[in-house]
Structure formats: structure tokens, C-alpha cells
Structure 1
Amino acid sequence: MDFQHFTTSDQVQLAFSIKGSGQPIVFLSGYGGAGEDFFPQVNSVVKAGYKAIVFDRRSHGYSENPVHGHSMQRHGQDLAELLDYLGLIKPILVGQSMGASTIFSYLNQYGEDNCRGAFILDQTPKIINSADWEYGMYNSENIDFDHYLVGELPNPFYKLPKGLVLPRLLVQMKRRPKFDFATTKPLFLDHMNSDWRELLQRLSMPIHFLAGEHSPMWPAAHAEASAALCVNGTFSIIENAGHAVNLEKAKETNQTLQEFTKRLS
């Protein structure tokens, strides 16, 4: 992908890539990932007549890694500034993991008027389990998140992607800048402690939750529970897939995404 950059209001250079034309769809990756990892979905939606915008959040992918702005609030603001910079009208927002939380942050701050719909990939709205929410991270009540990143992180895959997806993914990961876990730790902790359930109850726009059946992060049932919070929520679960469902089951993810986008046209 060919990346361009724009400068945020706090003087950070953020990367994005555009392919195709038509109804815009913006893709946001999870923590430590990069927008280019959505290549199976980008190729699919462009072929179907959409404009795909891949966005690297600050400190991710080919964007600048500043010492400031590591909060979900700022990441939501960055998304708003990207949409404004590109003059995007009513985009469809697609987010995987923390990319989904960035969408939630944006909607919480700026509302849903300039969003046609959201497609959420394997992200629960509340990560820490509680008496009124059992769809968070497995064993979250006993995890020391302050030291979580120094240990071995869960494998996002249930099964490795088939065909040409894995070789291309490995090439991309080797080529791009190394992710800075230390600098972005405040962002990680903010993400872990966020609770977007009240926001979901306020949204009237279409929002679809797609879960991997065998996600190592949280129960797949979070998708149905999350959709139930929304006025216009739907959900689906892809079998034999983990947290990185869009890579493990690219064909099924693409089909579900296009079914959702067609509903919005």
C-alpha cells in the first residue's frame, strides 16, 4: 500500500492509504497492528465498488510514534481529524480490537451524524468482567494489566491463515517499524479499563459485531450481548476463528462485511 500523511492538531504525522472510489470505508487495526493488515478486506471492498481508507493510528504502522497522546480519547480525536482532513461524508467505520474502541471513542466525542455504520471485529465493549458483564477478557479479574505487556501475549490466531495471507502478513510485519509497547502502555491500560456500553445504548446507527468463535481474548457470545445493547445492532460469529478473524477467515469476513454494507446503501 502507498501511504500518505497528515498532521494532527497536536503536530503528529499520521499515515493513511486510499484505494478505490465510491462509498468510503475506513479501516482501523488493533493494538500493535497496522492498517495494511486489512489487505484481504481492502481488495474485496474496492472490487465491489467502495473506497477503502486504511488508517494507521498514532504509534502504529507507518504513523509517527510520539511521546504524547496515548489515550483512547486522543485516538478518537485523531480519527475525527482524519475524516475532516479527507472530507469524508458518512463513512462506514471498520475496527478490529482496539481499532473498534477507537471508533467507540470517536462516536462518544463527536456523535453518529457523520457515520453511516460501524462494523466491529472481535471487540467487547467492556474488557474487565463485573457482576453485570461476563463477556470481557477471560480471567480479567485476576490479571495484573500493569505488567501484562512484559509477558507472553495471547496468540491472536486460532488457526494460521491459509493461502497467501500468512506470507504477505509476515512480509508486512517485517517491513514496517517495530511497535513500541513501552511508550504506548498508557493507551493499552486506557483501552483495558474502558466501558462503552452506555455509548452503545445511545447509538441509533447500524452496527454489526462479528466475533471469532475461538477468540483467546473473550467469549464469542460478547457479539450477541453487545448487539443487544444497541437500537440497531446485529451480530455474527465465524466458526473456527480466533481474535484475528479478518485474517484467519478472510473470505467469510469479507462476505459478512459486504452484506452489512449493502444494507446501508
Structure 2
Amino acid sequence: MAYFTTTDGIKIYYEVEGEGEKTVVLLNGITMNTVGWRLQAEYLRNLGYKVVLHDMRGQGQSDKPRTGYSIDRHVSDLKELLDYLGINTFTLAGISYGGKVALATALAFSEQVEKLVILNSSHTVDKALRLRADRWILAARLKSGRFLWQVMIPDIFSDEFINNSFSFISSLAPNFELVDMVAFEEMIKAFLRLDLRGKLSKLTMPTLVVASTHDRFFPPRYSKLIVEELPNGKYAEVESGHVSIWEKPGEINVLVSNFLKGEVK
């Protein structure tokens, strides 16, 4: 187990897999930890990439302070970690919450980001999104992992996946009891505070934006808005719910690997 301490004293858990010359950094969704990327991390490692994963402050095995959350702080944490590891250039791939962190990181350190992959995310915040986020915040304030599970599951998985994989869906319920509700709420608020609308035209690196047809939390229109601003953006859509890396891991892995090799049209 490896930890890095940030300049403000927060312990960040991280993993480095593989020894390739090219590095891919995978950025978690809001309730994820590094384990959630295992299918993608193994796939990329076997293709010869170095893969870096970490739990953001507030997540998994990292510290969970009561205050001090912002997307900019996540960006700083990541940059400090990569500097500590001696990684100067990299590809960023983020899902959901991690997608916005990836975009903000690319804006702050564009000269170091070779490529971007944004999965099931949004760079903007509208009234509909705020209403969905408010439901999650309310569930967190009730301090019930079971209730949070009941609120989030219909938002993050497609009906088909829920119906066909309900034993797996049910097995996730105990994990929601482990969510730090204060950190979770503060992370949601951090996401809602930052609107990157109108700022992405500065990002000239190749970018793959992937949406899911049945994503209820970030429907495809959010991904299309991202692509509209990008000078070098490519759009792809999979038949999945919000957590595409679990519902359609094979499709996501092929899309990402082809993009990294320059084969996405």
C-alpha cells in the first residue's frame, strides 16, 4: 500500500501498475476507489502502458478531511502526486466526477497532457443536474448507506444491467455503508461549484468523449456539449448506463486503446 502526502498534509493512496514508457492516469467517479478500474488497468497494463490510479481526498483509502474540497484541490493533489512519481507527460482518463477533474487538470497543465478520455461526465452544471445531485446530498445527510444505495443505483446503472445482474448490484450495498457521507457531500458541492462551459476551446490535445445511451445522471447531451467546444474532440456512445466501465468494459477498453493508438475516426 503506497501513500503520498500533499502539501496541505492529506495522505493520498495510489497505485502504479506496469512499466511502460507511456502513462495513463485513471480518475475515479465520486463513490469509486482504485479497485473500480481493475478491468481497465489490467487491460492497459497488458498493452504496455504504465497505469497510475489514486483515491482522491474523500475517497477509498485516502484521507477524508471535513472541509477543503474543490476540483482545483483535486487537480493540485494529482499534480503533486505525478511530480512525486517523476511523471511529466501522461494521458488522463476520467469517469463522471473524474472526468471533470481530468478536464480541469488539462486546462491547468495542458503542456503535460498528451491525450484526454472523458467518460460519462459533464463540464457544465444546469438545473436538471443540480436536482439530481440534490437527491444524492439528501440521501447522504440521512447517514444511511442503504438509502444512498437505493437512491444512486437507478441513476448509475441501466435497467437492463440491474435486471440481468441484480445479484451483483445487491452485493454493492455494503460498500455504500463505507461511504464517508460528509466527504461525499462536500465532493458533490465541489463538482457543482465549477462550471467549465466556454473554457474548453483551449484544449487542443486529442480527446475522446464517451457517453452512454442509458446514462440517467449524465445523459449523452452533456458529452455532446463537451465535444462541441473541443478543437480535437471525438465522440463515441455505448449502450450502457452511467458506469460504462462496469456495464460494457470490453467496449470501453477497445475504444480507449484504439484512441490511444490513434485509430478512432
Question: TM above 0.5, one fold?
Answer: yes
Q: CA deviation at 1:83?
A: 1.2
The separation in 2 between residues aligned to 1:169 and 1:81, in whole angstroms, is 37
Residue type at the aligned position of 1:260: F
Q: Mind listing any 5+ residue stretches in structure 2 that lack a counterpart?
A: 142-147
Q: CA deviation at 1:105?
A: 2.5
**Structure 1 pair 246/73, CA: closer, same or farther in 2 (3 Å)?**
same
Residue type at the aligned position of 1:183: A
| Structure 1 residue runs of 4 or more that deviate by more than 6 Å after TM superposition | 161-164
In the alignment of these two chains, the number of paired residues is 251
Alignment of 1:75-86 (within 5 A): 75-86=74-85
Partner of 2:35: 36
Partner of 2:113: 115
**Structure 1 pair 145/46, CA: closer, same or farther in 2 (3 Å)?**
closer
Conserved 8 A contact 2:31-2:184? no
The separation in 1 between residues aligned to 2:29 and 2:67, in whole angstroms, is 19
Conserved 8 A contact 1:91-1:117? yes
Partner of 1:245: 244
**Structure 1 pair 47/162, CA: closer, same or farther in 2 (3 Å)?**
farther
Aligned equivalent of 1:124, options 122, 128, 131:
122
The separation in 2 between residues aligned to 1:194 and 1:52, in whole angstroms, is 27
**Structure 1 pair 225/167, CA: closer, same or farther in 2 (3 Å)?**
same
CA distances 1:18-75 after superposition (whole Å, capped 9, x unpaired): 1112111111111121122001101111111111111110121111112232111111
TM-score, normalised on structure 1? 0.84
Residue type at the aligned position of 2:205: M
CA distances 1:139-179 after superposition (whole Å, capped 9, x unpaired): 84995776364465332111438999x869958x8689922
The separation in 1 between residues aligned to 2:68 and 2:33, in whole angstroms, is 18
Identity %: 24
Secondary structure at the residue paired with 1:89?
A: coil
Q: CA deviation at 1:200?
A: 1.2
Alignment of 1:112-261 (within 5 A): 112-129=110-127, 137=129, 140=131, 147=138, 149-150=140-141, 152-155=150-153, 156-158=156-158, 159-160=160-161, 170=171, 178-239=178-239, 241-261=240-260
Return the structure number with greater helix share: 2
**Structure 1 pair 63/144, CA: closer, same or farther in 2 (3 Å)?**
closer
